[in-house]
Amino acid sequence: MGALANQLPIGLSIAAVLLLIALGLTFTFGQMGVINMAHGEFIMAGAYTAYLLQGFTSQSFLIALPVAFVVAGLMGLLLEWSLIRRFYGRPLDTLLLTWGVSLVLQQLARDIFGAPNVQVTAPGWLVGGVDVLGVRLPYNRMFIVVLAVLCVVGVWVYLTRLPAGRRMRAVVQNRELAGYSGIATGRVDRFTFLLGSGLAGVAGVALTLVGPVGPSLGTFYIVDAFLVVVAGGLGQLRGAVLAALALGFLNGYLEFWTDASLAKVLVFVVIIAFLQVRPQGMFVLKGRTLV
């Protein structure tokens, strides 16, 4: 029982990391149907931003969060503007295209920062933890959970309460009609990509709390994050949240019960089994399109 409870914060923090990454994907993949394999490299860019900023001020970690959002967001904007917008309606080609970009970005990081991993020192107030009912809650992992919650709330407010979010949903639901109604769909696309990529940057800063930073940082998480989107349902915020929680705990507990290598295979089997029941993920946008 004690071990079971101790595994709880670990599962929760895996879930939070996955959720942070999947949130960005909800924008780029869910809203726009673009499979951005370079999303992992935007995470990496966010993490390196935190690395570069540390030492400038005592609160560099908190400053890194918005800066990483802007850095990764601008990278995403550039990618959308230069390449991806030529590929709408060709999702499989976008996948390959962005993978090519991701190869180049990884090598670029290797050339700039060197192949070995670097370490970001966590700020003092995130070192240590607190015991609650005999369960150790490390501050750094709790911070990631809080950050994920804040981001989810932010995205929810944006999508449902703000005019810009309404425009984005309009473009997703009916691009042509939105265009006729006077929405600049191209600009909405670019902004969607900026937001999604920016969230990847924030996730990257959060990841520096739980591990070292290296050129292939993003590749470790990107597949799992895509699985979250697949299991959660396309473009569904609540689906992403639930699926991230489920996958996080599944990963955490399976690794604990079996071993890390078997856990990955079991997670894959569980997802395939889940798709037998709900092939389109947990939540489906009801529409009249044929699926």
Partner 1 sequence: MTLGRISLVVCIVLLALAPLTLSPFRLGLLAKYVCFAIVAVGIALAWGQGGMLTLGQGVFFGLGGYAMAMYLKLKEAGSAGLPDFMVWSGVEELPALWKPFGNPVFALAAVVLLPGLVAFLLGLLVFRQRVRGAYFAILSQALAAAFVILLVGQQGLTGGTNGMTNFSQFFGLDLTDPNGQRAVYAIAAVVLGVTFLVAKLLVRSRFGRLLVAVRDGEDRVRFLGYDPAVVKTITFTISAVMAGLAGALFVPIVGIISPALLGIVPSLELLVGVAVGGRFVLAGAIAGAIAVNYAKTLFSEDFAEGWLYLQGGLFVLVLVFAPKGLAGIVESVRYRLSSRKRAPSTPVEVAA
Contact of 72 with 204, CB cutoff 8 Å = yes
Least distance in angstroms from the C-beta of 5 to partner 1 = 26
Sole binder of partner 1 in the list 230, 241, 242, 250 (CB under 8 A): 230
3-state secondary structure of 137: strand
For the chain, the distance separating the N- and C-terminal CA atoms, rounded to the nearest angstrom, is: 44
- Could you say whether residue 84 binds partner 1 (CB under 8 A)? no
- Could you say whether residue 103 binds partner 1 (CB under 8 A)? yes
Least distance in angstroms from the C-beta of 29 to partner 1 = 8
Contact of 208 with 47, CB cutoff 8 Å = yes
Largest CA distance in the chain: 60
Binding residues with partner 1: total (CB under 8 A): 44
**Nearest-angstrom CA–CA distance, 113 and 94:** 28
Sole binder of partner 1 in the list 26, 106, 197, 251 (CB under 8 A): 106
- Could you say whether residue 96 binds partner 1 (CB under 8 A)? yes
- Could you say whether residue 279 binds partner 1 (CB under 8 A)? yes
The residue (of 181 and 259) whose beta carbon lies closer to partner 1 is: 259
- With contacts defined by CB under 8 A, name the span among 12-20, 142-150, 203-211, 220-228 that binds partner 1: 220-228
**Residue 229's closest CA among 11, 14, 26, 18?**
26
Contacts of 105 (CB under 8 A, 6+ apart): 38, 41, 44, 45
CA 238 to chain centroid, in Å, comes to 14
Interacting residues toward partner 1 by CB under 8 A:
29, 33, 35, 83, 86-87, 90-93, 95-97, 99-104, 106-107, 110-111, 219, 223-224, 226-227, 230, 259-262, 264-265, 267-268, 271-272, 275-276, 279, 290-291
